[in-house]
Chain A
Amino acid sequence: MKKVLFTLFAVFAMSFCAFADNTDAYTVDDNAIEQLFAQSSEMNVSDIANLSLPGFGTENAPSLSTKRVSPWGAWAICWVVGVFGIHRHYMGTSGPMWLWYTITCGGIFGIVTTVDWVVLLVGAIQDNISAYCNNAQFFMWL
Chain B
Amino acid sequence: MGIGLRGLLPFFFVLLSTASLAQNRLSADVTTRQLNNGKSIRVERQVFYSTNGNMVVHYTYPQEYYMVTNRLGETSVYQPAANEVMQVNDHSMSTENEMLTIFLSPNYADLGLTKLGFVLSKVKKEGKDQIRTYTPTHSDDKAFKKVNVVCRDGKPIYCAFYDHSDHIIKKTYYSRYVEQSVFSFPSLITQISYDTKGDSIIRREEYRNIRTKDFPKNALFDYKVPANAKRVNPYGR
Contacts and interface: CB of A to CB of B under 8 A. Distances in A.
Interface of A: 23, 26-28, 30, 33, 36-37, 39-46, 48, 58-61, 79-80, 83, 93-97, 99-100, 102-106, 108-111, 114-115, 117-119, 121-122, 136, 138-139, 141
Nearest to A118: B143
Given A41-B40, A114-B161, A141-B140, A61 B236 contact: yes
B59 A96 contact: no
Given A83-B203, A105-B32, A138-B92, 9 more contacts: A28-B173, A28-B192, A37-B204, A42-B41, A43-B41, A94-B237, A110-B191, A117-B169, A119-B142
Contacts of A93: 235
Interface stretch (B15-23, B150-158, B208-216): B150-158
Nearest to B57: A103
Contact of B235 (A95, A104, A141): A95
Contact of B35 (A23, A37, A108): A37
Nearest to A84: B41
Given A46-B62, A108-B97, A37 B40 contact: yes
B113 to A, nearest CB: 9
A138 B93 contact: yes
Interface of B: 32-43, 57, 59, 62-63, 67, 77, 86, 88, 90, 92-93, 97, 99, 116, 127, 129, 140, 142-144, 150, 152, 157-158, 161, 163, 169-170, 173, 175, 188-193, 195-196, 201-205, 232-237
A23 B142 CA distance: 32
Contact of A33 (B129, B143, B158, B202): B202
Contact of B93 (A27, A79, A100): A100
